[in-house]
Amino acid sequence: MMQRAISSYSIDPALCSVSHPFITLPDSCHSAPVVEAALGPDTFNIIYAGALGDKQEPDQLLDFLQALYLRDSRVSPHVFSAGPHFERLSSSISYPNVSFHDLVPSSELSALYSRSFVQIIPQAFGTGDGSLPSKLPNLLCAGVPIFAICDFTSELGSLIKSLNAGVVSHHWSTELLVSDFLAAWDLFLSETHEQRRDRLAPQLENLFGYNSVIHHITLV
């Protein structure tokens, strides 16, 4: 995003720095009725949760989730969202093996992440230099493996790769996405959520903590 701003508005790079979204994950709650009603505790829940607009390529995302189940019925695909695309897709007969749910209350996000085998982050090609999903720091903090679909040059993909926090695919071919996901199965299982969270914690503080913003401000 910074490079896009520099090139688009002729900003002096020496005046620019990057501060990522903060970690805002709430503490685990003892009761999570919405999540508990939607997800089994011991299943391979494949989750997309959040806005479902054009930037998430909703039709191709759902094609992928449906095809993934048909290839490997161990997975349980779920979409937590709202809005016109969500209403249209949830009423379609094309996705009988994908479960659709309303958005989860913020107080239950920790429970949602703890029951996620993998979280999907889709990003329409050509949008990666203009946005970074605000949920990314929370997912990393929770130790959830991530399967991202984005441009080669996307900051989203670069962060996931550098942190070894999941797998990144750079195409929207349903067949290739399913193959990429299943090829990464052992990687997804290589650490528990707790192990991944503990490994990433020191890097996340530097990338998504408040101190980085304070540091940038005090240098001005």
Domains of the chain, first to last: 48-219 (3.40.50.2000)
CA distance 192 to 117: 10
Q: Which pLDDT band, with edges at 50, 70 and 90, does 206 fall under?
A: confident
Pairing of strands 146-149, 166-169: parallel
The mean predicted confidence, pLDDT, of the chain is 88
Beta-carbon neighbour count of residue 4 at 10 Å? 12
Task: Over range 13-28, report the average pLDDT.
Answer: 66
Mention every residue, 6+ apart, whose C-beta is less than 8 A from residue 10. none
CA distance 173 to 165: 22
Pairing of strands 44-49, 99-101: unpaired
Pick the more confident residue, 153 or 65: 65
pLDDT at residue number 6: 53
Looking at residue 209, the DSSP 8-state letter turns out to be S
